Amino acid sequence: MLDGLDEIINKNRNISLSFVKGLHSKLLDGARGMYKTPGEPRKVQVHIGRPGDGIEKAIYIPPNPFLLQSLLDNWLSFLSRNDLNPIVQAAVKHAQ
pLDDT tens, 9-57?
666 677 888 888 888 888 888 877 667 788 888 899 999 999 999 999 9
Cβ neighbors of 93 (< 8 A, separation 6 or more) are 78, 79
Whole-prediction pTM: 0.73
CATH number for the domain spanning 80: value is 1.10.3290.10
Q: Does residue 75 register a pLDDT over 80? A: yes
Q: How many domains does the chain have?
A: 1
In angstroms, the CA 52 to CA 31 distance is 21
Residue-range definition of the domain harbouring residue 15 = 5-95
